[in-house]
Chains A and B, each alone.
Chain A
Amino acid sequence: MTTVRIGDHELGLLAGRGVVRWSDRTLYVADLHIGKASAFARGGVPISGSVLEATTADALKRLTAMIVQAETERLVVLGDLLHAAGGRDPRTLDLLERWRWEHRGVDVVLVRGNHDQAAGDPPSSAGIRCVDEPFDDRGLTLRHHPLAAGTGTATLAGHVHPAVRLRSPGDSARVACFWLSKGQLVLPAFGGFTGMGEVRAGAGDRVFVPAEGVVVEVPVVVSTVARVGRSAR
């Protein structure tokens, strides 16, 4: 298990794209974008019903697996739980509520993100407490939007869907990553129907990529290499 320390907090990085704080076994995830496929379908994009169903069901299933793995009783979503108002169809909300029922022992908190502002809070029947950023979680600042200059305190954030490009001679791939910068740990997007944004890590930053059950730290030279590679083309 890869663990990082920010301030006084021991944080475990999970390959399922979550973070666990060992002191109270709180599980943190970011950017689920539930209902994104539905919002697309409602907006006229031809997406099959099976995709609508499966993207939501799959995200919730993976969340369940992590809850079980971390033996957690508290889950915090760092923003963008729901993708858009257009994605709040009865079937999607029904899946969400059913999932909540299965995990009724787990306390769930949502730190509202930009998509949540537009999509609205989840229905009260889902039993999810919604708070605005920044939210102080026992000494850990929780935000949706990371701050470019850092917050000056130990912080968890989401929003940017961080990714890095890894290369070796003749090989290259873009991978979602955890990005630790200026005391601020940015989580990869959890949802299956989400894009990625390549980060430009600076000096002193640390980058971790989840790969087949483990999380590996990547030397930060990565992003410089990526930039050099690009302009050389």
Chain B
Amino acid sequence: MRNEPPGARRKKAHAQGAAAVTAADPLAPARSWLASRGWSPFPFQEQVWSAYLNGKSGLLHAPTGMGKTLAVALGPLLEEVARRGEGGSRKRERGLKVLWLTPLRALANDTAEALASAVEGLGLNWSVELRTGDTAQSRKRKQRVDGLPNILVTTPESLSVMLSYPDLVGEAGGKTPSSAAGGPAGPSPAEPGEGGTLSPLAGIRAVIVDEWHELLGTKRGVQTELGLARVRALSPSVRTWGLSATLGNLDEAMRVLLGAGAPQGVMVRGQGRREYQFRTIIPPDIERFPWAGHLGIRLLPQVCEAIDASNLTLLFTNTRSQSEIWFSSLLRASNKYMGKVAIHHGSLDRKLRGRVEEAVKAGELKCVVCTSSLDLGVDFAPVDQVIQIGSPKGIARFLQRAGRSGHQPGGVSKIVCVPTNALELVEFAAARDAIAAEGGPVDVEEREPLVLAMDVLVQHMMTVAVGGGFDERRLLAEVRTTNAFNALTDDQWRWAMDYIHRGGPALTAYAHYARATQDDPPDGLWRMSAASLVRNHRLNIGTITSDASIAVRMANGKVLGSVEESFIGRMAPGDIFAFSGRVLELVRVRDMTAVVRPARRARGNVPSWQGSRMAISTHLASAVRVRLGEAHRGVYRGPEMKAAEPILRLQDAWSTLPQPGELLIEYATTSEGHHAFVYPLEGRLVHEGLAALAAWRFARAEPRTFVLASNDYGFHLLSPTPIQFREADWRSALSPAGLTEDLLACLNAAQLARRQFREIARVAGLIIPGFPGQGRSNRHLQASSELFYDVFSEYDAGNLLLDQARRQVLERQLEYRRLAGALERLADATLAVKDLPCLSPFAFPLWVDSLREQLTTEKWTDRLSRMLVTLETRAGGPPAGRAACSKGKARGTP
């Protein structure tokens, strides 16, 4: 278990410690069990136990994982020991007592083992079981028929699926449970919980949410909130405890977890801060170090040295494609890595991942190349070093990754930073500043909770409708106890009811297409019971987590893993990509499966996973601004800044290094057109919004088309016609006035919302899930989310899912709060405008690493005619080498 010292998992015979203890001190059984293993409790653990025994809910946070599991697990167990001490029966009481939610399936196993050993240690005979997407169907059915275990470890999705089984929830109307409509269960288990109530969930005493910071701010977090509200309605006295890493907004995190209107929770701070040992690999030849790009592969020899000097290294990359590159490069670097280096990322097949995790525990590996799939979770106790390839993007994430090494008590977390381009040296220096900040807690980022995610709401309503039905007013009240839907209006609720009833506001001509239907009075419960709807709905519950995934399969049938549909959708048969450490050629895509074969060419285009690109956090961005300001004044502190000095000086000489309070704008002209580069240093998402906004506001004055691109440092406008803006033009283009209206107006053109609709359509049940072997029968019911978006926009403009897509673009994709803050800051900034003969070191990465997002206000026919001209030119002769000359110039100049 990751929260205990090594060796804890071994099941030692323990000295019946619990039984011997008197009831005087309720914490004594825990102390004596720990003492029997030679440990003593941390003060924060006792604090949580006492708070729990006093009936409190709360949140336990700590920078790292030490002892957190036992802190929250032992409360309910001590309570049970005390109950029995008071003359309660020693016979095992049936029914679920403790529900443990974890965001990661991979965590569930370790957690269950730890809980089982604690149960045994306290002399209890409670049963502990798992229920996740990986649990066998037969096991899950047994849990439905024979009753749930006393302690259940599960995921938010699995809880949601549980809530869709009437025999697990009990009838909302308080009637005798009957077998599930469409469910395969035989006679229903008339499982009487305690107190004569009928719901098998009514006896839950504690819900524990592990890694709450990972859920907060996501749709799975909203799904968790709704699930918790359901559990609280069924078991009103339940206590909720969350475990979280350090966050900038812990109080808010706790309020969201406990629900609106809950009594004040108890905030407990865990074990103190950890020691970090921080080293950056400095590129030996900075003059030739790339200004752009993300591979950093030229530091491979130094990375190999670092790996060789340690026992077990986790090598983190920011994207899956990077992890593929590093994995294959390491294998090519030396034969000694054969069988000693493994790859682990979210889209690999679960079995492969499981095998890697086993090999790590068995000490067979030297290095695991991974992405955020290993940010949290599985305890790899022997890890003694973490290598971070590329910018960590945020301080919290950086700390979390660093914390994966040196896990033993008193251990030092060793992290080696590998820059992949020159500017990342500055980011590492800035991250080091934040970690080394003297005194007080480390200044880390906030996670903003999501509100009013209508797709998750309608999915939950369907879940409850399938799981025994609901009374409309009672469910509305329950839903409003969540932070996410505390502000839900009656109109929004009305729409959601219409949506689950018949897809939208009533139109009598089509009333026979009812989905959820209402029972006759007096109960008047809403239910959804048609077998096909029930089945499709349960399949859809898991979709909050993942993009529609396409299985990647070799022609001989071997499954390699899965990739997002959007990724495969961009490729044609014959295209080459790297996946799962192999270079593959796409043969065909059929029935949600991509058939591949080993590619004949040695090197492939590396798949680019746009979805997983993270933006630099506000905290890190402002630390970077400080460092650049220092550099402008000639101050270069630390090895990273000293290494980056030649390039920063070049930037300063050709253009300038923006100081805090200054906004740099560079103009340049290439054969591609006329460029404006703007550097607010606010992170990629904010820049995407700023770019769209500025382009739209410029184009409002004079119709024209821009090519937009953004990265973490700034954004880029490219126009086929000269850009001649005065300072006043920039001021009004970047003015905070009318932000929301203008953003929404330009969004429509940019079609960002249409893309957001992909996920919404799946969660809200518009996409009938494909499942193996059944692909064809549903075919006439399948349409792309984009088509739904277009059709709804045209014919059902009041659909709140459209509204949500637009809000999601604002809140999630453009980080509206940050954007507004950035504009306020820029309004006070002085402008530094530079006219450059060629691209500067800052401009170059923007130019090459461009996410192309086009926005236009010109009439479609004008655009069309220009495209035609281009095509005709090309058809008439060989295409001009349009990009090559400017690229060559920029690369060659330093």
Contacts and interface: CB of A to CB of B under 8 A. Distances in A.
Interface stretch (B478-486, B506-514, B621-629, B656-664): B506-514
B781 interface: yes
A132 interface: no
B510 A41 contact: yes
A147 interface: no
Interface range on chain A: under 10, 10 to 19, 20 to 34, or 35 or more? Answer: 35 or more
A111 interface: no
A209 to B, nearest CB: 8
Contacts of B783: 36, 40, 193, 195
Given A44-B530, A44-B532, A84-B780, A53 B507 contact: yes
Contacts of A89: 510, 512
A48 B504 contact: yes
Interface string A62-102: 00000000000000000000011010010100000000000
Interface residues of B, number: 67
A221 B874 contact: yes
Contact of A169 (B502, B515, B870): B870
A54 B854 contact: no
Contacts of A233: 570, 605, 608
A212 B868 contact: no
Given A40-B783, A48-B503, A169 B672 contact: yes
Interface string A44-66: 11111111111100100000000
A181 interface: no
Contacts of A51: 503-504, 791-792, 795-796
Contacts of B490: none
Interface stretch (B265-273, B419-427, B760-768): B760-768
A170 interface: yes
A230 interface: yes
Nearest to B863: A171
A211 B498 CA distance: 37
A124 interface: no
Contacts of A9: none
B464 to A, nearest CB: 16
Given A51-B796, A84-B780, A172-B854, A45 B503 contact: yes
A97 to B, nearest CB: 14
A41 B499 CA distance: 11
B572 interface: yes
Contacts of B572: 227, 230-231
Contacts of A230: 570-572, 575
Nearest to A40: B781
B434 interface: no
A206 interface: no
Interface in B871-886: 871-872, 874-875, 882
B864 A166 contact: yes
B510 to A, nearest CB: 4
B795 A46 contact: no
Interface string B749-788: 0000000000000001110100000000010110110010
B794 interface: yes
Contact of A44 (B499, B536, B864, B867): B536
B138 interface: no
A145 interface: no
A166 B875 CA distance: 14
A115 interface: yes
A171 B781 contact: no
Nearest to A119: B780
A16 to B, nearest CB: 16
B505 A49 contact: yes
A38 B510 contact: yes
B705 A192 contact: no
A216 B872 CA distance: 13
Contacts of A86: 780
Interface of B: 458, 498-500, 502-510, 512-513, 515, 530, 532-533, 536, 570-572, 575, 605, 608, 672-673, 705-707, 718, 720, 764-766, 768, 778, 780-781, 783-784, 787, 791-792, 794-796, 799, 852, 854, 856, 859-861, 863-864, 866-872, 874-875, 882
Minimum-distance CB pairs A-B, first 9: A48-B504, A49-B507, A170-B707, A54-B795, A168-B867, A46-B503, A91-B509, A221-B875, A43-B781
Given A38-B513, A49-B502, A233-B608, 9 more contacts: A41-B513, A45-B781, A48-B796, A48-B799, A49-B505, A167-B870, A171-B866, A212-B860, A219-B875
21 contacts: A41-B503, A43-B532, A43-B781, A45-B781, A46-B515, A46-B764, A49-B504, A51-B795, A51-B796, A53-B510, A89-B512, A169-B720, A169-B870, A170-B718, A170-B852, A171-B705, A192-B794, A193-B791, A209-B864, A221-B875, A233-B608
